Amino acid sequence: MTAVLLNSKVTKVLIAAFCIFFLLRAFLSQRDHASELLTRWHRGSSSRRRVVDDRSLASIRNETLGFEKTFAIGLKERTDRHDYLALAASISGIRVEWLDGARGETILEKALPEGFNTTILKPAAAGCWRAHMNALVKIVENRISTALIMEDDADWDVSIRSQLMEFARGARALQRTEDANENTPYGTDWDLLWIGGCASAPDPDEKEFYVIPNDPTVSAVRHRATWGGPLEEWKEKYPNLPEDSSRFIYRAGMGCCLYGYAVTYDAARKMLASLALDYLDEPVDNALSHMCAGDRGRPKLRCIAPFPNIIGMYRAAGSAQRDSDIDYGAPEVRHGVEAWNLVYSVRMNIQRLLGGAQTAVSQWKDEETPWSSAELNLTDFVYPEGYLCIYLFTEYVIINTSQYTNANTNNEQRIMNDEYKLCLSVCLFVS
């Protein structure tokens, strides 16, 4: 009996030892992976040079925001929208090429993809689909390496270039891009940058995101017309990153609305093959969302999105009937001016900026928030820096733009270099 009990105790000790060994090995493996990641990013950089060299982001300041082409889609007869977009682009120094939209009623039924049910989907949905396919055809026929495609009611913040430069840092951190240059400021391992939409979300098991805290160009949640965004798990782990004032960047598994998005040449070919030649039984943005998820038989695209969006939709004050050429509002319904999820909207500040003002007024100028002011001084505005967060087994890794230093290590080890900061929270226990 004594021998049996002894063997039982020995067995339990051995099992416990094995479990501890396994957990420790897994933890060290993840930690070594993160440390190796930092070493690789840091290698070859001086203590004063950023790993994501600003010189490789310089093309974002050009007339096409770092893309080879910038397109806008709109119906020829919507001259009001063309006027607005032309002025907004001129004020922001963006060179936009106009692509005519399409009317659904002019599209032959036999030219529609398999599965397109005209009794369910409105003719305007067919027109929207065809207009975006025409933009993709333009990219494919002309072998355009990258292009930003916007709809004619697109709007953006007065600081869009600063926003996109930090977005590019986040996108490249998620891609682990080390060889980007001025021709590839957003990295080399992406298909679609969904920077303008009414919704986006990461896959449910996504463990990485880039975050820009205290972003003055982020609208408070109560003012947003979006859904999706950061996972609940992220919010629980990072209560110091409130959704109200933080902009998240992540690999997207879902998106909605096509206010503005960028594609590569290869992605344009895949999208055209899937959305025009294969089948389509839903609005084109929903089908594109399935390509980001890689489900419903769609080829998977490598999608990256910010939340909230960087490009939004503008609605002029007046009748709701003017708002959309897909969903017509009732003529008797009227509303005030609105720029979806934007704080310092270019369109809402057009008259001020044309008059030579060096400040932009917030859409919610009567409100003051701790992270955003009612008026933005354009001459001295500095956009905040973000950092990468990675969930690794029992730890979270946070990679930030900071100078190299070593901090005390108790239950948290901090390793920082000139571009990235690593925080490891260790919670190993035996019960």
Residue 430: CA atoms inside 13 Å, Cβ hemisphere, count? 12
Domain boundaries, given as residue ranges, for the chain: 54-314
What is the chain's alpha carbon radius of gyration, rounded to the nearest angstrom?
25
The CATH code of the domain at 54-314 is 3.90.550
- Classify 114 as helix, strand or coil: strand
Q: For residues 102 and 75, what is the distance between their CA atoms, to the nearest angstrom?
A: 7
Q: For residues 317 and 319, what is the distance between their CA atoms, to the nearest angstrom?
A: 7
Tokens at 174, concatenated:
């998620």
In tens, the pLDDT along 194-209 reads 999 999 999 999 999 9
Please state, as a whole number, how many other Cβ atoms lie within 10 Å of the Cβ of residue 356: 6
pLDDT at 178: 76
Per run of 10 residues, the mean pLDDT along the chain (length 431 residues) is: 53 58 51 43 33 81 98 96 97 98 95 93 95 99 99 98 98 88 94 97 95 97 88 90 96 98 99 98 98 97 98 78 52 70 97 97 92 96 96 56 32 33 29 26
In tens, the pLDDT along 299-346 reads 999 999 999 999 999 998 655 455 555 455 556 554 478 998 999 999
Question: For residues 189 and 304, is the Cβ–Cβ distance under 8 A?
Answer: no
Tokens at 88, concatenated:
């907004």
Enumerate long-range contacts of 33-38, CB under 8 Å, 24 or more apart. 33/392, 34/390, 34/392, 34/397, 34/422, 34/424, 35/415, 35/422, 37/176, 38/399, 38/415, 38/417, 38/420, 38/422
Query: For residue 413, how far is the Cα from the chain centroid?
Result: 30
Per DSSP (E only), the strands in 215-316 are 227-228, 247-256, 260-264, 303-307, 311-315
ω before 370 within 30° of 0 (cis)? no
What's the distance, Cα to Cα, between the start and end of the chain in Å?
27
pLDDT at 421: 36
Q: What are the residues whose beta carbons fall under 8 Å from the beta carbon of 28, sequence distance 6 or more?
A: none
Q: What's the whole-model pTM score?
A: 0.81
Q: CA-CA-CA-CA torsion for 63, 68, 72, 76, nearest 10 degrees?
A: 100
pLDDT at 368: 82
* DSSP-assigned beta bridge partners for residue 375: 361
- What does DSSP assign to residue 300? P
One-letter amino acid identity for 273?
A
Instruction: Give the residue from 164, 166, 132 showing the smallest Cα distance to 151.
Output: 132
